[in-house]
Chains A and B, each alone.
Chain A
């Protein structure tokens, strides 16, 4: 039951992009086509899951026993940066087709605050365990993917619309994101 609540909360109610404002840069940056947004979501799913697993273990078995939790931010960002590099190298060797699909997005993910944000948020879960933290990361990346793909599909339609001069570009995108966020607000009572 716990897990179902985590999943629904992360995907709909507390959507990481639309209600927690994490990962806005890729959300606005790579959402002009549905195909790229799917690629980006895949890369985020991949990196977020691995990063949360590693940072959770690191926090639990190294930082806390050693009394170094104030170094959390530095450690986590380094781990994520190193991990992204490693994933890139491994993918290139092990699975060229997957690398082809995700490769361009990987370097962008280091500065995606959603990855660091989820790694930190996962530490604060109630009755936390490794499994729960990893599940939390997967749910959140699904939420990210949902928001990104829906937003990209709307933007593809928007290309054809007749928009007032001053609203073109960034403002109309922000407005669409706002309306989307408003729609997700409707899920509030679910959990």
Chain B
């Protein structure tokens, strides 16, 4: 039974409660950095790391924090891990660090992370929180990578930087510009809803 629950904790984030397509959390980085598949993946992994670490810490210290100050306490925990991620990215992947820019410090205000801390990690044990964070995080990574891939393929005729169209080909440049983010996400959400409503 316990095993079943962990599996559920893990799987719900990927499809049934997918943070982007179903819950619409963390929209700013979703739209802001997905002009290429690589950026989407990078942002997703950075967020996954912060989410996982903050869920672990919050579920460990949940009994030590007075209820009244729990939100500021969660924010400090999250902000510390964001600072760590910022330093790691700057040191090891400076290219990605430059591309993501302002959206790295803004992981702090990504509603997914505070949302999971408040709704899940502060009420459950460490193991469940880890599975919850992994599920939600992977759901987020997938959504960002798919959106990034679609926009990159339509907008620059390449995928993860590998060009598959000749240089002279006309591509939908619109899709790597800001409006393309909204439009691509709109149609992806329609498709996601269609696919999930069939299976359930």
Contacts and interface: CB of A to CB of B under 8 A. Distances in A.
B105 A171 contact: no
A46 to B, nearest CB: 18
Contacts of A74: 76, 79-80, 83
Chief secondary structure at chain A's binding surface: helix
Given A24-B31, A116-B109, A175 B79 contact: no
Interface of A: 18-25, 28, 70-74, 76-78, 81, 110-113, 116-117, 120-121, 166-167, 170-172, 174-175, 177-179, 181-182, 185
Q: Chain B interface: which size bin?
A: 35 or more
B179 A73 contact: no
Given A73-B86, A74-B76, A175 B105 contact: no
A166 B191 CA distance: 9
Given A81-B72, A166-B193, A170-B24, A73 B186 contact: no
Contacts, number: 109
Contact of B187 (A81, A113, A171): A171
Given A112-B109, A120-B102, 12 more contacts: A22-B32, A28-B27, A73-B83, A78-B76, A111-B109, A117-B102, A167-B190, A171-B193, A174-B183, A179-B179, A181-B179, A181-B182
A167 B182 CA distance: 14
A116 B105 contact: yes
B130 interface: no
B106 A171 contact: no
B93 interface: no
Contact of B178 (A18, A117, A171, A172): A18
A32 B91 CA distance: 43
A60 B177 CA distance: 34
23 contacts: A20-B32, A22-B102, A25-B28, A28-B24, A28-B27, A73-B79, A73-B83, A77-B75, A77-B109, A81-B71, A81-B75, A113-B28, A120-B102, A121-B102, A166-B190, A166-B193, A167-B190, A170-B189, A171-B190, A174-B186, A175-B186, A179-B183, A185-B179
B115 to A, nearest CB: 9
Interface in B135-182: 174, 177-182
Contacts of A77: 75, 79, 108-109
Contact of B179 (A112, A116, A182): A182
B87 interface: yes
Nearest to B32: A21
A111 B87 CA distance: 23
B111 interface: yes
Contacts of A72: 105
Interface string B17-35: 0000000110111011000
